[in-house]
Amino acid sequence: MNRKITAVAMFISALTIVLGAFGAHALEKIVPPESVASYEVGVQYQMYHSIALLILGLMPLADTYRNRIFWIFLTGIICFSGSIYLFTFKTHLNFEVGKLGLITPLGGILFIIGWIYWGLSILRSKKN
């Protein structure tokens, strides 16, 4: 078990619940409905990958692989979900978020890379 990764997964999960509750109860009052739908996608993917981080922290895997997967997924969460959250509030921000449009797909690509790398890491690992 990796305590750091497991703890980070718990904190990200808690944050995801807070963001999801905000989205369910307050967001529709301040942004258009299509922004709420996008926001929900960001929350869903953040939760999927916080659960993946929890599993990653608990499973037996070489630290080298585990740490790389952790950073790939964490960066993916920040890029994918974080950029969606920024786009949700674009009318309320004092800077142009349109230039951040490439960050969302980059986050998605990082998720894909993370899952593939995790699968390859399992295949390369010694049997336990």
Burial zone of 40 (CB within 10 Å; 0-12 exposed, 13-18 middle, 19+ buried)? middle
Q: How many CB atoms lie within 10 A of CB 109?
A: 14
Per-residue pLDDT tens, the chain, 128 aa: give them: 999 999 999 999 999 999 999 999 999 999 988 889 999 999 999 999 999 999 999 999 999 999 999 999 999 999 999 999 998 888 777 777 777 788 999 999 999 999 999 999 999 987 65
Which residue range is the domain that position 103 belongs to? 3-124
**Whether this model's pTM surpasses 0.75:** yes
Domain count across the chain:
1
Q: How long is the chain?
A: 128
CA 1 centroid distance within chain: 21
